[in-house]
Amino acid sequence: MRFLFLGTGTSAGVPAIGCDCAVCLSEDPRDRRLRTAAAVQFTDARGQERTILLDAGPDLRQQALRAGLRRCDAIVFTHNHVDHTFGLDEVRRFNAVQQSPIDVWADDHTMDHLKRVYRHIFERDKNVNDSFVATLIPQRIEDRAVAEGSAINLWGALFTPVRLLHGRLPVLGFRIDFEDSIKAANPGAPFPLAYCTDVSGVPPESWSHLYGLKTLVLDALRHRHHPTHLTLNQAVHIAGELQAESAYFVHMAHDLPHEATQADLPPRMFLAWDGLVLGN
């Protein structure tokens, strides 16, 4: 049972195209950040390996190859932005390898975006030629489920949607935990874990879902204020309030060199990096 950081960078990625700053030119591999995305892997109660993706950004193909992903059972989306959705086409390879469709979970706003952008997938019968497109099963995350904090059960993995604010856009974070039978076999696992990327604020009703975590994954863009992302200081403050056993920051811009930034962080708080795996 494990959690994989597939990408930890902001929307433009690091290095950024055409930038000669110290981080973009850095030789530290932890300063090379693909667009933020993650995966949860575990063995279900029947002994089947499962991989659930958190978002499907434009670097998905490269991330899947690097992490050696061989299947994708479901994709759970946080929001509709391009840096989190423009790799959805790539999952057709998983359809071909595993010979099964893939569930796609998203709230109304994100699902409407996916259906508009990926008409060739969701309205396949309208394609001029029947070409190789992904086979997806849309699954809506209802507002009511978010309000009630009811979990989506994915083969024993429990994903509870948590409302977060990304500027004025309501997005979803997820508290991820497991049914007891699966958890019992994985004592060192990093769950319960909350995945909260692309956040500028945590609404009052959401805090209760974010206590008692082993791991908090949280947006931390840069030092300077940004209207739709937490600064590193804001993220450290929220992580301190939530008292998770460990906090890992993601969605970093090229303003944050890994080594120097890490050196200034409080205990049990870390800048994540591409390829980092928690659990085993």
Q: Which residues bind Zn ion (CB under 5 A)?
A: 11, 16, 19, 21, 24, 81, 83, 198, 254
Cα 171 from Cα 201, distance rounded (Å): 10
Q: In terms of CB distance, is 50 or 166 closer to Zn ion? A: 166
Q: In terms of CB distance, is 95 or 261 closer to Zn ion? A: 261
Q: In terms of CB distance, is 95 or 197 closer to Zn ion? A: 197
Omega prior to 204 cis, within 30 of 0: no
CA distances in angstroms from 224 to 213, 229, 234, 248, 254, listed in the order given: 28, 10, 10, 19, 12
Handedness of CA 31, 34, 37, 43 (dihedral sign): negative
* Min separation Cβ 257 and Zn ion, Å: 10
Q: In terms of CB distance, is 70 or 223 closer to Zn ion? A: 223
Cα 254 from Cα 154, distance rounded (Å): 35
* Min separation Cβ 195 and Zn ion, Å: 13
Residue carrying the six token digits 């699902």: 111
Main-chain phi, psi angles of 72, to 5 degrees: -145, 115
* Min separation Cβ 246 and Zn ion, Å: 22
Q: In terms of CB distance, is 226 or 268 closer to Zn ion? A: 226
Q: In terms of CB distance, is 16 or 133 closer to Zn ion? A: 16
Pairing between β-strand 215-219 and β-strand 246-250 as defined by DSSP bridges? parallel
Q: In terms of CB distance, is 84 or 93 closer to Zn ion? A: 84
CB atoms within 10 A of CB 20: 8
Q: In terms of CB distance, is 175 or 222 closer to Zn ion? A: 222
Cα 129 from Cα 58, distance rounded (Å): 24
